[in-house]
């Protein structure tokens, strides 16, 4: 399965970046809530696969807002939105692909090595551009990473169109960990995709003052 959710990286020589939005982009090798980029990628897929197709959610995981776009996951639709309190970190999955024990070849793998190899191979040729609050993203592709192999549970109607309800999955792709977003609405856009599979996706992050109702 191919997943499109927005990520954006504005990198500075010091390893972190301060965007116009006030956001700090967590550097490669950094962690949020004790998880690395690779681990958040795996957690995102567990959450995505556990939901029906075409669902858009903003779910808190270990105190971090995790976004999954459903309505425009195929590219070109209206934007998905997430409202979060001031001070909450955000994880946004970028362009990412997965392989699992629940799908047929060429998306199938039986061992951990097969799953990871499959996902990385399917990511080959990925191209994308992104902006955060209108500013171009730089060095985004350098954040591509392989997730650990994680357990997954699927609902009866699921994005993999699989009759199997449990299995294992590995993903390869990019993601964004943001901290320090200022109060207001921030817009993240991404377009690009894989050969033969173009995408366009927008997220709106509405950051509320501390103590304000959602």
pLDDT digits (tens, 9 = 90+) for 68-113: 875 544 545 446 788 999 999 999 888 899 999 999 999 999 999 9
Cβ neighbours around 16 below 10 Å, total = 15
Instruction: Look at residue 213 and tell me if it is in a domain.
Output: no
| Contact of 194 with 126, CB cutoff 8 Å | yes
Instruction: Look at residue 198 and tell me if it is in a domain.
Output: yes
Structure-derived torsion over alpha carbons of residues 190, 192, 198, 204, reported in degrees to the nearest 10: 0
Instruction: Look at residue 140 and tell me if it is in a domain.
Output: yes
Instruction: Look at residue 214 and tell me if it is in a domain.
Output: no
Instruction: Look at residue 68 and tell me if it is in a domain.
Output: yes
The DSSP secondary-structure symbol of 63 reads T
CA-wise closest residue to 160 among 115, 102, 113, 111? 102
Evaluate if residue 154 carries a pLDDT over 90.
Answer: yes
Q: Is the dihedral of CA 177, 15, 193, 80 positive or negative?
A: positive
Task: Please report the pLDDT score of residue 165 as a whole number.
Answer: 95
- Domain range holding 161? 2-208
**Residue with tokens 């979060």, as numbered in its chain:** 84
Task: Please report the pLDDT score of residue 3 as a whole number.
Answer: 47
Question: How far is residue 208's CA from residue 70's CA, in Å, rounded to a whole number?
Answer: 23
Give the range among 63-67, 70-74, 181-185 with minimum mean pLDDT: 70-74
What are the phi and psi torsion angles at 166 (to 5°)? -140, 155
Evaluate if residue 8 carries a pLDDT over 50.
Answer: no
Instruction: Look at residue 170 and tell me if it is in a domain.
Output: yes
b/e burial code for range 19-35 (CB count within 10 A of at least 16 → b): bebbbbbbbeeeebeeb
- pTM here is 0.85
| Contact of 1 with 159, CB cutoff 8 Å | yes
Number of domains in the chain: 1
Evaluate if residue 147 carries a pLDDT over 70.
Answer: yes
């Amino acid at each position: 399965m191919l997943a499109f959710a927005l990520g954006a990286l504005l990198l500075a020589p010091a390893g972190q970046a301060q965007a116009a939005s006030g956001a700090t982009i967590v550097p490669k090798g950094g962690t949020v809530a004790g998880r690395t980029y690779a681990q958040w990628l795996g957690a995102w897929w567990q959450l995505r696969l556990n939901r029906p197709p075409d669902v858009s959610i903003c779910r808190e995981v270990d105190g971090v807002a995790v976004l999954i776009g459903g309505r425009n996951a195929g590219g070109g639709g209206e934007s998905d939105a997430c409202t979060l309190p001031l001070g909450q970190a955000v994880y946004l999955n970028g362009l990412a692909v997965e392989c699992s024990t629940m799908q047929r070849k060429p998306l199938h793998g039986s061992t951990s090595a097969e799953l990871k190899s499959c996902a990385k191979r399917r990511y080959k040729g990925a191209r994308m551009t992104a902006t955060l609050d209108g500013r171009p993203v730089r060095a985004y592709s350098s954040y591509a990473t392989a997730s650990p192999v994680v357990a997954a549970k699927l609902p009866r109607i699921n994005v993999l169109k699989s009759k199997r309800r449990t299995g294992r999955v590995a993903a390869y792709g990019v993601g964004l960990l943001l901290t320090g977003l200022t109060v207001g609405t921030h817009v993240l856009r991404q377009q690009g995709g894989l050969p033969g599979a173009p995408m366009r996706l927008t997220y709106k992050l509405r950051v509320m003052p501390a103590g304000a109702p959602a």
